[in-house]
Amino acid sequence: MLLSLADHTLPTDPADLFGREAPLVLEIGHGNGSFLQHLAETHPEWNLLGVETSLGSVSRTFRRLRTAGHPHVRLYRGSGRFVVRNLLPPASLHRVYVNFPDPWHKQRHQDRRLLQRQFFQVLATRLTPGGSLWLTTDHPGYFRFAVAEAGHSGCFAITTNAEPPAAALRTKYARRWITQGKPIHHARFECTRTPEAAFPPTLTATDIMHHAILDGAVPAVDSFEKQVYPFAGGHVILLEAATTVTGEAVLFLARVEEADLIQELLVEVRTHEQGVYVGIKPFAEPLSTPGTKAAVRYVTEWLQQQGLTLTKRSF
């Protein structure tokens, strides 16, 4: 049920994710998964993909759905923007649900909102003809914003007088806002035009496991301060470094941010028959991307600063 992108190409055929051909429906920001569960119970004919940035919410949803046993639900921890742009091929998506998205009240944070003009344009290329996005929110400002942004995209017919799905009014956030007496707003955005631009994926993943070999010995790490390294497509943050208990390896905890994809991974430095090896540890199954290559490169440079000499590298 939990998707690991390392097992798939970008973009990927949704039928491969689910083991069958069926209309693909996405819920972005599913929270504790109650609405997703409702969809799974009422629409066994759909392939359902839940996308959520919060690890805690993905775990809660996983437990909820695993107990109920739904074979046609997949969960991906990450950003809805990344999934629509990079994972899904053109004309593959039947519907998207967004219930109570984070409103980002402050003017200076509005560029963090999901439902922006460019998102709608990319979405229009991934939706099947007549496919739609259904938005339910308590936030009148975000509601007006999303309706205006979809209008500017020029790709959607917008309905603002339909009733929200009853189950969308029973989610954790819906209950909170309804108890507080807030009115709930609902809009349906039906795709009527595909933009000329194809909006291809912003990220390419490869099978190459980037690595380097250096002459010298694995250095002892007594202290390490967080370091941020920008690269063309994003940045790598080396958060921590620690020597393993055997003393034979050093592990760097890295956060790699690129094209709406965030990967937390380990870069390992260990003794190797030809010297000292640096590479991505096969743990948490990261996608091999320009960002993971940059992470290996920056740890390699750090080792060179510790006096080791580079003898070989894959990048």
Ligand X SMILES: C[S@@+](CC[C@H](N)C(=O)[O-])C[C@H]1O[C@@H](n2cnc3c(N)ncnc32)[C@H](O)[C@@H]1O
Quote the least distance from Cβ 100 to ligand X, whole Å: 4
Residue nearest to ligand X (CB): 29
Quote the least distance from Cβ 259 to ligand X, whole Å: 13
Quote the least distance from Cβ 84 to ligand X, whole Å: 10
Residue 31 or 131 with smaller CB distance to ligand X: 31
What DSSP character marks residue 313?
Answer: E
Residue 80 or 291 with smaller CB distance to ligand X: 80
Answer yes or no: 138 catalytic.
no
Amino acid in position 107? Q
CA distances from 254 to 83, 186, 239, 250 (A): 22, 40, 6, 13
Quote the least distance from Cβ 33 to ligand X, whole Å: 9
Residue 78 or 279 with smaller CB distance to ligand X: 78
Strand partners, 28: 51
Q: Which residues bind ligand X (CB under 6 A)?
A: 28-31, 51-54, 57, 79-81, 99-102, 114, 171-174
Residue 136 or 300 with smaller CB distance to ligand X: 136
SS3 letters across the chain: CECCHHHCCCCCCHHHHHCCCCCEEEEECCCCCHHHHHHHHHCCCCEEEEEECCHHHHHHHHHHHHHHCCCCEEEEECCHHHHHHHHCCCCCEEEEEEECCCCCCCHHHHHHCCCCHHHHHHHHHHEEEEEEEEEEECCHHHHHHHHHHHHHHCCEEEECCCCCCHHHHHCHHHHHHHHCCCCCEEEEEEECCCCCCCCCCCCCCECCCCEEEEECCCCCCCCCCCEEEEECCEEEEEEEEEECCCCCEEEEEEEEEECCEEEEEEEEEEEECCEEEEEECCCCCCCECHHHHHHHHHHHHHHHHCCCEEEEECC
Residue 20 or 112 with smaller CB distance to ligand X: 112
Quote the least distance from Cβ 189 to ligand X, whole Å: 17
Residue 37 or 92 with smaller CB distance to ligand X: 37
Quote the least distance from Cβ 73 to ligand X, whole Å: 15
Catalytic residue among 7, 13, 16, 102: 102
Q: Give the residue numbers annotated as catalytic, written as ranges.
A: 102
